[in-house]
Chains A and B, each alone.
Chain A
């Protein structure tokens, strides 16, 4: 029997794409599907997915939980747990279309919730920390249930199949968002588990990633010290947790986080002025275990914007482009030109050089 994600570490190659409107203008999922579909050959039909920000404006203050259930028992267990810890304001099945190539879909449910005040008091946690703990509890201890996303005014749509078919399946043409990211997966072996597809999320964070990081276990064992549970054994999962830890919990500015994840080389650091050198040395000394090593290109998204980043010696492709208020990032330039034939600027960011796009009027990616 093939072991699914979580029981075994499955390396995969991938395609990624992201589109954002910096003014917060909402646009449909058609473009992102078109962009990721162009890179069909970079996936193998064993996983595709999308993250969308701004899709639930009418419920923007509620946590939107997208949940997979592999059997109805799991749904019962999870709902018991949810009811105990949250006020469920609204719930229902996520609408889907019949697509011939998409098979074995789980039960896909959506909840708009708020943590129960009494539980927050009892646990003595912030609202966000409470949500994180609950999501981890469901994912690690309720068999057959998997929380796909849990942020506000955002959601993740993913599954086993080519990304364009997944987009069709979830009817993304009917959603409107100001940030879309997409992922097409080329795992080397997987039984085709829906939860294993990307993006991976936590709260508002979502990460799509192309690569196989060689620092995985160093990163995993480090974040696990801070209470995260890497149940999926995927790179995306651990990268998401690192971002969450450094940005949300340690309160570090984004440029410092980027310096930790794709650290400058020592010979470069030696050429920096004394003050900068002291800072970067301290980052490498303290956050050495968050250095992501080996090939990767990632797009981190949250409600404030996106960050696209390559490993420090650029072992994976990534191209960025802008036109007007739109920012595009993709594994291949063609995937950008498929939806924006004449961008104003196109460039291949250097290894470790971040592409940051924030909503107008926002100072940093968090809070």
Chain B
């Protein structure tokens, strides 16, 4: 995995005024985290147990927006994690859950003020959250596939000087 292109802490922001509620972000997120990676048809046709979307469109029409981990500066989930699986990477600023170490105790879910960590029973019982599509080395699938540019990445260099 090539992480060399991630040089600054980034966060994904949502523009609720142009979110069209199509949920393509969710669909592409599912595919991006399936074993078929970005192949939507195989992901949805072949897998009976598909990954959970790590972004969820919150909707109260006409208002809608895609919500996922904020990668907080001072993350409650990291503090709450009893195994140290949930870590904030000091270099990238991303909050990542190490599913190998996660025991599925859900403490992080209770702690998260945004409700963006979800219970994942698909395989081993773990907490599921946005991983910024780090493993793919590509732009996060939700941002890349939002048809109306309602999701965007903004560098936040408040605490992490380049």
- A and B in contact, CB less than 8 Å: no
